[in-house]
Amino acid sequence: MSTPFTGPEFSVTHDPAAPADALVVGVFSGDAGITVDAGVPEAARGPIAAALAVVGAKGKAGEAVRVPAPAGAGLGAATVLGVGLGAAPADGDRVTAETVRRAAGVAGRALDGVATAVTTLSTLDLAATVEGAYLGSYRFAEFRNTSAPKEAPLGALALVTTAGSEAVSEEARDTVEQARRTAAAVALARDFVNTPPNVLSPVEFADRAQRLGAEAGLQVEVFDEKYLADNGYGGIVGVGQGSSRPPRLVRLRRVSGVDGAKHVALVGKGITFDTGGISIKPAAGMEQMTSDMGGAAAVIATVILAAQLNLGVDVTATVPMAENMPSDTAQRPGDVLTQYPGAGKGGITVEVINTDAEGRLILADAMVRACEDGPDYLIDTATLTGAQMVALGTRTPGVMGTDDFRDRVAALSQAEGENGWAMPFPEELRADLNSRVADLANVSPNRWGGMLTAGVYLKEFVADGVQWAHIDVAGPAFNTGAPWGYIGKGGTGVPVRTMLAVLRDIAQRG
């Protein structure tokens, strides 16, 4: 049986020549050949660059080249791993955090079987190195018996810092600890997504969220199918009724204790498996719908992280969980349900034209409930539409919402390297959601702009005065392609770091 992944053990050092199995250095490309980062002792830079060049290192992003440590260079490691950083920044410019994070991720993936490493990447960006190395070495082996990885992931990583004094080193250790917790939260979201759908039912998901939330000191409430039916959560009940495994609504609350703290509501789509329901999906690729709770996973990880980092902001996560299955108890195309009639914009009736547009049905209930608390901000995130990938590809979340907050979230997501992109709500889309019999239809007869249409649907449920951002991560939450940077196959943990950046920004600037 595999042990759960906890990341490498991190330490801070002033000595790039500290004894270790491997030294990890950054490699820049340049017209006059490659160069290594300035954290490497000057006498060793030339010999290392020469050794890497001999075996073809170009310094390109994504590249990892390993060579024996040049003799006589005074290094404490037997081998040197050079990871590409791309073109050296112009004088005075710094390499971006995301460049460092990705390079550290490449290193993390390349260091399986290595017990101890020391790196100078941390002299470029300490937090990004920690996050990248942790997430790059991430693995999910819980369900491997006979095919378990033979080599352990990187065991320990010493981070070179040029910070001189004791006090600065203390600050460095704090930076490392915050980055480690951030990466661990991303890994938690990945674990949830990677846990197969037979194991992670709505009840199991709610139990795990409850346990982890309580451990982090959050106030936790779990509402069962009877409570949901009695209280009019028509969307969650309607989607969940096709499965023998009942739906849940989980609420996780962090109170900062800070006077005048802003209140941020988080909502995440928690479809533990999406068959499409009666409007069933084609078989090819359906297994990927194990990732349809990626929004919920990210939101749960983020509220726990907000508590661990003691952010000066109040956060309430409202997380609907259901399994979208076809059966004789499933909802039908043509059914009309009533979304949660909360104090805000609830009680809207919906004609379910396509049971595969289920995410918006469970989210709408949760968003109305979230708005009942009177939050300043509302962020919802969901693997909501295939159209997200048509519009933006697999790595770029679509960000919609109220204009100012949408732009703020997209800008912070860009800065974080998760690269969310602001998208509009063209006014003509709303009329396509008019229904023959109900207040709203859950899909449009027009397939163009499907990501935006889903956002327009959700907009109906956001209380007046609440600043709102909707993040569609249908592609970005789950990597079906080859590993890259600090992203492996499967769950990615996007958009945990975007939401963290937003919470930090709100704690600072309101």
Q: What's the CA angle centered on 386, arms 385 and 392, to 5 degrees?
A: 95
- The alpha carbon of 8 is separated from its chain's Cα centroid by a whole number of angstroms, namely 20
Which of Mn ion, ligand BES, Zn ion, none sits in contact with 79, Cβ below 5 to 8 A by type? none
Choosing from 190, 360, 406, 408, which is the catalytic residue? 360
Contacts with Mn ion, 358-397, as mask; x by CB under 5 A: x---------------------------------------
List all residues 6 or more positions away from 26 whose beta carbon is below 8 Å from its beta carbon. Answer: 36, 37, 39, 82, 83, 85, 95, 100, 103, 120, 121, 124
Residue labelled with tokens 């309580």: 214
Q: Does 292 bind ligand BES (CB under 6 A)?
A: yes
What does 80-149 look like in DSSP terms, one character per residue? EEEEEEEEPPPTT----HHHHHHHHHHHHHHTTT--EEEESGGGT-HHHHHHHHHHHS----TT-STT--
Among 63, 274, 314, 460, binds Mn ion (CB under 5 A): 274
Which of ligand BES, Mn ion, Zn ion, none sits in contact with 373, Cβ below 5 to 8 A by type? none
Q: Is 432 annotated as a binding residue?
A: no
Which of residues 21 and 356 has its CB atom nearest to Mn ion in the complex? Answer: 356
In the structure, how many helices (H) and strands (E) does the chain have? 13, 21
Among 318, 383, 419, 467, binds ligand BES (CB under 6 A): 383
State the DSSP code for 445: S
Are 48 and 79 contacting, i.e. CB atoms less than 8 angstroms apart? Answer: no
Which of Mn ion, ligand BES, Zn ion, none sits in contact with 387, Cβ below 5 to 8 A by type? ligand BES
Compute the least distance from the CB of residue 276 to Mn ion, in Å.
5
Compute the least distance from the CB of residue 323 to Zn ion, in Å.
11
Catalytic residue flag (residue 360): yes
Q: Is 427 annotated as a binding residue?
A: no
Are 194 and 140 contacting, i.e. CB atoms less than 8 angstroms apart? Answer: yes
Q: Does 356 bind Mn ion (CB under 5 A)?
A: yes
Choosing from 173, 181, 208, 281, which is the catalytic residue? 281
What radius of gyration do the chain's Cα atoms show? 24
Helices within 326-446 (DSSP H only): 359-372, 386-392, 403-416
Subset of 287-326 contacting Zn ion (CB under 5 A): 292
Contacts with ligand BES, 255-274, as mask; x by CB under 6 A: -------------------x
| DSSP H or E run through 498 | helix 496-509
Distances (CA, A) of 75 to 206, 293, 415: 50, 47, 35
What is the C-alpha to C-alpha distance for residues 138 and 22, in angstroms, rounded to an integer? 19
Subset of 427-486 contacting ligand BES (CB under 6 A): 443, 450, 474
Subset of 16-75 contacting Zn ion (CB under 5 A): none
Which of residues 154 and 391 has its CB atom nearest to Mn ion in the complex? Answer: 391
Q: Is 274 annotated as a binding residue?
A: yes
Among 359, 375, 476, 495, binds ligand BES (CB under 6 A): 359
The three-state secondary structure class of 327 is coil
Are 219 and 252 contacting, i.e. CB atoms less than 8 angstroms apart? Answer: yes
Among 386, 395, 415, 483, binds ligand BES (CB under 6 A): 386
Compute the least distance from the CB of residue 475 to ligand BES, in Å.
7
Q: Provide the binding-site residues for ligand BES, judged by CB under 6 A.
A: 274, 292, 354, 356-359, 383-387, 443, 450, 474
Q: Active-site residue numbers? A: 281, 360
List binding-site positions for Mn(2+). 269, 274, 292, 356, 358
Q: Provide the binding-site residues for Zn ion, judged by CB under 5 A.
A: 271, 274, 292, 359
